[in-house]
Amino acid sequence: MARERSFWGWGWADRFPDDAGRRALAAHLASMLGIDRPEPRPAPRIDGIALPPPALAIPPALAPFCTAAANERISHCWGKGYRDLVRGFAGDFSGAPDLVARPRSEEELERVLGWCAQSGVAAIPFGGGTSVVGGVERPPRGGRFAAAVAVDTGALDRVLEVDPVSRSARIQAGATGPALESQLAGHGLTLRHFPQSFEFSTLGGWIATRAGGHFATLYTHIDDLVESVRMITPRGTWESRRLPASGAGPAPDRLVLGSEGILGVVTEAWMRVQARPRHRASATVFFDEFPAAVDAARAIAQAGLYPANCRLLDPTEARINLVAADGSAVLLLAFESADHALEAWVGRALAIAIAHHGRCPDGPAIRDDGVHPSPSGAAGSWRAAFLEAPYLQNTLVSLGMIADTFETACTWDRFPGLHQAVCAAVKDAIRRAGAGANGGVLGCRFTHVYPDGPAPYYTFIASGRPGAELEQWAEIKRAASEALAANGATITHHHAVGRLHRPWYDRERPPLFAQALRAAKAAVDPAGVLNPGVLID
Amino acid sequence: MARERSFWGWGWADRFPDDAGRRALAAHLASMLGIDRPEPRPAPRIDGIALPPPALAIPPALAPFCTAAANERISHCWGKGYRDLVRGFAGDFSGAPDLVARPRSEEELERVLGWCAQSGVAAIPFGGGTSVVGGVERPPRGGRFAAAVAVDTGALDRVLEVDPVSRSARIQAGATGPALESQLAGHGLTLRHFPQSFEFSTLGGWIATRAGGHFATLYTHIDDLVESVRMITPRGTWESRRLPASGAGPAPDRLVLGSEGILGVVTEAWMRVQARPRHRASATVFFDEFPAAVDAARAIAQAGLYPANCRLLDPTEARINLVAADGSAVLLLAFESADHALEAWVGRALAIAIAHHGRCPDGPAIRDDGVHPSPSGAAGSWRAAFLEAPYLQNTLVSLGMIADTFETACTWDRFPGLHQAVCAAVKDAIRRAGAGANGGVLGCRFTHVYPDGPAPYYTFIASGRPGAELEQWAEIKRAASEALAANGATITHHHAVGRLHRPWYDRERPPLFAQALRAAKAAVDPAGVLNPGVLID
């Protein structure tokens, strides 16, 4: 029997804890936040969901790969952000698409898009459905679109071709992380793009949203791993040439990257893959003061060492993820290579960290035998918490907690002011929203670092009022987003824009770029049916 | 007295050799190519140039910064490609703009563009004027545009602001390489973007053409050094936010990069700068066989070592640049760092090269004292030849020779077939064009290398028939470009498209991208006055 996905929350249904497990977490939250123990609420049942009836019947041309079944409409309704989990837990699937199409070929995909364009039906590209920004929702009912089809790329999940000389592979866009990695492994290759959503998100989704991956430096976004892209638009096929680099006009792929399904549906891409790493070196560095740790991360980012991991946890992140309980900030450093031993690299990075008052009691850990041992100590705790986090969010929602993350990037000179402003704004909003008199819990980590700035990632937990959680959350989210905008940071480093970030995205991008993008969209999607409301109107 | 620029050729006028120097080169060419000694022809004199009269008078609003002086019209007529040098040497300046505007502020630039849009006058953005692809030419007389203004950004040449924490600097687009480097040097910083045109080309030109620079790996194009861009369009100002990275929609800067002046005129950019390197390590490796050297370059490019230099010269390049006369291919490796000593890096790269049958008789050279010694030996010979090459082209043109370069990029799997096809096509075209029964001289080097492919750069020399050189050259250029297109390579890695590469660019880019780009241009330049004919019609 196939393992069942949660219809309302993140991941596998069997990972949702029982009542005893939830009560244990509730006790922990009560002590951490200084609140009464939240009460576990019963999880929703799929057979109790009331769905609006489909606004149209399946057209015969799409019948072989299209469905209006309730369970499919439910599982293609929302993404996996906090708001989606709250709605799902409450049994609210009012945004369900009318139909779900699952084309098995580009020809079938063209058929769906052609039909949508002709019929004025919104086409919502759907990869793994893990958007946390409302990127896979239908536009509101009662608006321009009376009907919407979710276009699920999941049937296109093969690695079609491998070029071991150039270290490239042609991969279909519907392949999830595990699906493409297992196919590449047969060739001794790997893409090494491991976003937190890795298990369920797809290559096409990564490309459409400029996903951030495994590497803390250098090849941080999927953008850098794309050699060429093939996309189906309502006006036909858009395909770039396989090239390691080019200077011929503005890069076509860069208009596809981040286009979030408004220009077309990516069907395949040639991706830059790599040999599996054999050499690994890592170090965990503790700092008494977060600012000193920030300076260390900056110095390492500017040193030209290019660690695969350079993740800085502030004391709260370190504490809530069980990495350090003593108020230290923690810098997790790691290097990897398929080619060479890494003593010189990790040694120099560690020397920089220590020069910035870091402590590395265990020294660096080095392995040159190709074995990737399960990380232990702080790095191991971190990894376990990282993989568990989306499931934890399910549980927190079931306890009525408000728990979400947001992320950004800014130049180094702006980080101290930004960080202070964000912390003040979020804690203040939590109080104002009645979600915690003490301002809740707010932690910060750097997911990626660049020579000119970090990508800070924030997590907050507060206590919701039953039925008012989404309003409370919206107030906190708004305060956070305003603080980012006011301090010259981006509304998203790798979570994308979707519908959730639109107000701040609209202020961030050059207005003339918005006009250019609108014109470009009109050229490839004249009926404007692709993911309406995302990025532009 | 200010040093005088050549009005017809590359660089400083005083660098043009006297007759004795030219006769010495002629003798060398005769023996190298097996031809009669070419005869030095007299250089043109600027006072002998017959210019078409300006098609319009200077409008009063532009008078303070606009001229119709003959010498300015002549120096803003062509770029510096082979075709430009031949036309210039022949005294042909029929493509001279009617006026030359040199705005001293963004307000003056807006005034020029506004006037052009209103009057239907073509506006040709002009940075250093070093285009080798017809990127700074007016559209043909008798077409849609009766008049054209060259818009010279040279008055905007300041480093306006430096952020030492984020290692960024706000630099005006008209600054040449030496101008911006000398201003940055006062802050202990450097951009380290050293294209061959460095002395005369400008930051704005680099951005508009996606220039290729100093670094053989990683930060190869100017694209990677851009933090944000400010551009004036006929519809107003386009300015992106300073960010180290973002995932918010398609990257706005990436539409500006490579736009070659068709969307607007870049006025300034925040650029990622760096500390000056203190540590240097280099090695020169000789190979008996070019294919083994190619494999070595590939292995180094895929090793994650990121050399600053990884330039591979084939035996012909090595010979004509006096790097190696014995038929060896030569790989010039260099690493640099402001942070750490580089033994481990150069040691591993050298080990890879030697494992591919390379010979490094002198071993690596390592300096950790911040001193950059004048490179000696093969690297020194290469550097001298590299800097001299554009001047050499002047001299070759004056001798009636056909001498040009073209460059590309392709995936590693395609390189052997591409190289064979290019060599056969060019040598065949040289014979067919009556430019050398032995097929002339054709050399290849890699200027940049990527994990998934090299950027090969070709140089050819053949003997022209007086008066027929441009036809002969066009036949060779066409054959080379067709070979690139037929073998899946790009028409340009870093020379841009301009008017020269249009036919092949049109076939290379996705047709739907062309439509999107056309629509985007119409949004910001509705009158279509900016650099007409470049990239799109």
* pLDDT digit string, tens, across residues A364-390: 999 998 887 777 888 888 888 888 899
Do A413 and B524 make contact, defined as CB atoms within 8 angstroms? Answer: no
Model pLDDT, residue B385 = 87
Torsion of CA B289, B295, B298, B303, to 10 degrees: -120
**Beta-carbon count within 10 A of A264 CB:** 29
Q: What is the pLDDT of residue A372?
A: 78
For chain A, which ranges sit under pLDDT 70? Answer: 1
Looking at residue A370, what is its pLDDT? 85
Residues of A in contact with B520 (CB under 8 A): 516-517, 519-520
Flag if B496 and A248 touch (Cβ within 8 Å).
Answer: yes
Q: Extract the runs of DSSP E, i.e. beta strands, from B74-188.
A: 99-101, 122-126, 148-152, 159-163, 168-172
CB contact (8 A) between residue A243 and residue B489: yes
Q: Which residues contact A28 (CB under 8 A, 6 or more apart)?
A: none
| Tens-place pLDDT, residues A336-349 | 999 999 999 999 99
Which candidate in A191, A218, A336, A340 is best for mutational testing of the B interface (most B CBs within 10 A)?
A340
Of chain B, the end-to-end C-alpha distance in Å amounts to: 43
Chain B residues whose CB is inside 8 A of the A337 CB are 303-304
- Contact (CB<8Å) A272/B451: yes
Write the DSSP string, A98-155. Answer: SEEE--SSHHHHHHHHHHHHHHT-EEEEESS---SSSTTPPPPTTSS-S-EEEEE-TT
- Report strand pairing: B122-126 vs B148-152: parallel
- Residues in B closer than 8 angstroms to A275, CB to CB, are 302
Q: Do B490 and A272 touch (CB under 8 A)?
A: no
Nearest to B252 among A249, A348, A513 (CB): A513
Is the Cβ pair B244, A411 closer than 8 Å? yes
Which residues, 6 or more positions from B53, have their beta carbon under 8 angstroms from its beta carbon? none
pTM surpassing 0.95? Answer: yes
For residue B522, give how far its alpha carbon lies from the nearest alpha carbon of chain A (Å): 8
The alpha carbon of residue A249 is apart from the nearest alpha carbon of chain B, in Å, by 4
pLDDT confidence of residue B1: 65
CB contact under 8 A, B255 and A516: yes
**Cβ pair A523:B519 closer than 8 A:** yes
Contact criterion met (CB < 8 Å) for B235 and A512: yes
**Distance between A3 CA and the closest CA of chain B, angstroms:** 33
What Rg, from alpha-carbon coordinates, does chain A have? 23
**Which domains does chain A show, CATH number per domain?**
159-275 (3.30.465.10), 279-371 (3.30.70.3450), 382-500 (3.30.300.330)
Strands B168-172 and B159-163 turn out to be antiparallel
B497, A236: Cβ pair inside 8 Å? no
pLDDT digit of tens for each residue in chain B (537 aa)?
689 999 999 999 999 999 999 999 999 999 999 999 999 999 999 999 999 999 999 999 999 999 999 999 999 999 999 999 999 999 999 999 999 999 999 999 999 999 999 999 999 999 999 999 999 999 998 899 999 999 999 999 999 999 999 999 999 999 999 999 999 999 999 999 999 999 999 999 999 999 999 899 999 999 999 999 999 999 999 999 999 999 999 999 999 999 999 999 999 999 999 999 999 999 999 999 999 999 999 999 999 999 999 999 999 999 999 999 999 999 999 999 999 999 999 999 999 999 999 999 999 999 998 887 777 888 888 888 888 899 999 999 999 999 999 999 999 999 999 999 999 999 999 999 999 999 999 999 999 999 999 999 999 999 999 999 999 999 999 999 999 999 999 999 999 999 999 999 999 999 999 999 999 999 999 999 999 999 999
A246 CB neighbours in chain B (<8 A) are 409, 490, 492-493
Retrieve residue A54's tokens.
Answer: 């489909």
Instruction: Among A343, A452, A510, select the one facing B252 at the smallest CB separation.
Output: A510
List, for residues A467-500, the tens digit of each pLDDT value.
999 999 999 999 999 999 999 999 999 999 999 9
- A243 and B303 within 8 Å at the Cβ level: the answer is no
Q: Using an 8 Å Cβ cutoff, are B341 and B317 in contact?
A: no
Q: Residue A339: its chain B contacts at CB < 8 A?
A: 302-305, 348, 352
Nearest to B247 among A221, A235, A245 (CB): A221
User: Do the Cβ atoms of B139 and B148 come closer than 8 Å?
Assistant: yes
Dist CA B395 CA A294 (whole Å) = 55
A 10 A CB-CB count for B7 gives 16
How many CB contacts within 8 angstroms connect chain A with chain B? Answer: 302
Chain B residue numbers touching A448 (CB-CB < 8 A): 245
Q: Is B531 helix (H, G, I), strand (E, B) or coil?
A: coil
Q: What is the pLDDT of residue A384?
A: 87
> What residues of B are in contact with residue A167 (Cβ under 8 Å)?
302, 451-452
Q: Which residues on A lie below 8 Å from B517 (Cβ)?
A: 249-250, 520
Residue B288 distance to chain A (closest CA, Å): 22
Q: ipTM of the predicted structure? A: 0.97
Count of Cβ atoms closer than 10 Å to residue A467 Cβ:
9
Picking from B331, B507, B329, B481, the residue whose alpha carbon sits closest to that of residue B404 is: B481
Q: Which residues contact A242 (CB under 8 A, 6 or more apart)?
A: A168, A227, A228, A270, B411, B488
Q: Suggest the residue from B512, B521, B525, B535 to mutate for an interface test with chain A (most A CBs closer than 10 A).
A: B512
| Alpha-carbon radius of gyration of chain B | 23
Query: CB B488 to CB A244 under 8 A?
Result: no
Q: Classify the phi-psi angles of B256: left when phi > 0, otherwise alpha if psi is within -120 to 50, otherwise beta.
A: alpha
Interface mutation target, options A221, A241, A260, A263, chain B, most CBs of B under 10 Å: A241
Asked whether B454 and B414 are in contact (CB, 8 A), the reply is no
Q: Which amino acid is at B145?
A: F
Kindly list the residues from chain A whose CB atom is less than 8 angstroms away from the CB atom of residue B272.
451-452
DSSP label at residue B131: -
Stated as kind and residue range, the H or E segment containing A502 is helix A502-508
- Which of A242, A252, A344 faces B411 most closely, judged by CB atoms? A242
Which residues of B fall within a CB distance of 8 Å from A235?
512, 515
C-alpha dihedral (A284, A285, A289, A290), degrees to nearest 10: -50
Among the partner-chain residues B236, B257, B448, the one whose CB lies closest to the CB of A250 is B257
DSSP states along A287-305: ESSHHHHHHHHHHHHTTT-
Burial zone of B113 (CB within 10 Å; 0-12 exposed, 13-18 middle, 19+ buried): buried
Residue B149: strand pairing partners: B99, B123
Between chains, do B259 and A274 touch, taking CB under 8 Å as contact?
no
Question: What is the distance in angstroms between the Cα of B387 and the nearest Cα belonging to chain A?
Answer: 22
Tokens of B293: 């050297």
Q: Which residue of B has its CA nearest to A263?
A: B516
Q: First and final CA of chain A: distance in angstroms?
A: 43
Write out chain B residues lying below 8 Å of A534, CB-based.
none
Closest Cβ opposite residue A490 in set B167, B248, B304: B248
What is the per-residue pLDDT for B200? 97
As a whole number of angstroms, the distance between CA B292 and CA B307 comes to: 19
Task: Please report residues of A whose CB lies closer than 8 A to that of B220.
Answer: 245
Q: How far is A352 from chain B (nearest CA, A)?
A: 10
